[in-house]
């Protein structure tokens, strides 16, 4: 035990790969999450639960007790508080070296571009960050394009359902997390969005992740059937608050035997089954993705399109 902390095993990584390595260590149960990583020049020492190849001994400072930190959501290097509290924001900013900004929403997600106003409470005056997710990197601007880090597991689930060489249409692509996550199994991905700022970030993310089979499209999803033929094997509909109006377009875009992943916010099981079954459906399976608010949850309907 040292005055400034505890001596543990640590793994030295380049700061540019620190978040990717942190997620990998978490997945393998090797990251000691009760201690603060150490910043040393261009590298970061990540605290470990035990010795691994390449590890070294170092002194790490424990994080403040969890109860000292206000409830917040992490998106890359930005923490989103639920209430305006500058003192709490400063504590959160100091709790993780990977954080650069703490913000609070000043309104709900709204408008045709699904954005919300944010106020910076601590750190750098920016709403832009980079999110690392399963080896992919996404440039995000929370004030100009919607992004949910909480759907990371869902994106991997859909990825696991895909066959090699599928053609995919992401009708509400945003900055591209679904489209890019699925691109390594797909032969071709159309990634469409109505928000110009989101499509600009999408183009940046396609380049950043070196995706050569993703086509960014600035378009209203309702008009996509008039642009592309009915050849897609899989259609993603992640516009949970109002996507029911786009079901006719989704069924027009998806070939018989293909799959539509329809996301919705709902307060009761099967809330959208009647609307879905108004179309040719071979099968439909419903599952909860995550809680959204008391009594309301984010659901997905996996729809196999019939003849």
Three-state secondary structure of 177-197: HHHHHHCCCEEEEEEEECCHH
Position 4 scores a pLDDT of 67
Compute the mean pLDDT over every residue in the chain, rounded to the nearest whole number.
Answer: 91
* pTM for the predicted model, two decimal places: 0.77
From the CB of residue 170, how many other CB atoms can be counted at a distance below 10 Å?
29
What mean pLDDT do residues 76-101 have? 91
What mean pLDDT do residues 251-271 have? 95
What mean pLDDT do residues 182-200 have? 97
Cβ atoms of residues 241 and 265 within 8 Å = yes
| 154-169: pLDDT as tens digits | 999 999 999 999 999 9
For residue 293, pLDDT beyond 80: no
From the CB of residue 113, how many other CB atoms can be counted at a distance below 10 Å?
16
In sequence order, what are the beta bridge partners of 48?
Answer: 31
Give, in order, the Cα–Cα distances in Å from 192 to each of 25, 39, 173, 217, 238.
34, 39, 5, 5, 11
What mean pLDDT do residues 28-36 have? 84
What mean pLDDT do residues 205-212 have? 96
Torsion sign across C-alpha atoms 77, 289, 218, 108: negative
Confidence of residue 1 (pLDDT cuts 50, 70, 90): very low
Rounded to whole angstroms, how far apart are CA atoms 173 and 155?
12
Give, in order, the Cα–Cα distances in Å from 275 to each of 116, 245, 265, 280.
29, 10, 14, 11
| 92-148: pLDDT as tens digits | 998 887 899 999 999 887 777 878 899 999 999 999 999 988 888 999 999 999 888
- Bridging pattern class, strands 56-62 and 35-36: antiparallel
Instruction: Please report the domains of the chain, with CATH numbers, ordered by start residue.
Output: 6-62 (3.30.70.2580), 66-126 (3.30.300.110), 148-305 (3.40.50.150)
Position 238 scores a pLDDT of 94
Q: Tokens in use for 303?
A: 């729809």
């Amino acid at each position: 035990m040292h005055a400034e902390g505890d001596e543990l095993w640590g793994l030295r990584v380049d700061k540019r790969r620190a978040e990717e390595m942190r997620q990998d260590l978490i997945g393998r149960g090797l990251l000691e999450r009760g201690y603060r990583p150490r910043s040393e020049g261009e590298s970061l020492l990540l605290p470990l639960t035990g010795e691994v190849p390449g590890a070294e001994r170092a002194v790490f400072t424990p994080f403040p007790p969890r109860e000292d930190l206000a409830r917040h959501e992490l998106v890359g290097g930005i923490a989103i508080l639920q209430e305006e509290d500058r003192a709490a924001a400063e504590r959160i900013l100091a709790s993780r070296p990977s954080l650069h900004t703490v913000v609070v929403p000043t309104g709900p997600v709204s408008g045709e571009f699904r954005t919300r106003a944010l106020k910076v409470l601590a750190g750098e005056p920016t709403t832009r960050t980079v999110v690392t997710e399963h080896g992919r990197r996404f440039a995000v601007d929370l004030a100009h394009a919607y992004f949910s880090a909480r759907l990371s597991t869902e994106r991997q689930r859909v990825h696991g359902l895909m066959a090699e060489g599928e053609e995919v249409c992401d009708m509400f692509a945003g900055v591209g997390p679904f489209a890019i996550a699925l691109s390594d199994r797909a032969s071709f991905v159309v990634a469409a969005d109505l928000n110009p700022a989101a499509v600009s970030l999408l183009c940046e993310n396609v380049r950043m992740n070196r995706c050569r089979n993703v086509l960014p499209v600035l378009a209203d999803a309702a008009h996509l059937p008039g642009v592309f033929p009915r050849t897609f094997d899989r259609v993603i509909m992640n516009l949970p608050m109002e996507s029911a109006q786009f079901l006719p377009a989704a069924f027009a875009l998806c070939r018989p035997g293909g799959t539509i992943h329809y996301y919705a916010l709902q307060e009761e099981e099967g809330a959208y089954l009647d609307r879905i079954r108004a179309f040719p459906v071979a099968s439909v399976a419903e599952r909860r993705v995550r809680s959204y608010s008391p009594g309301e949850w984010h659901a997905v309907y996996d729809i196999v399109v019939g003849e």
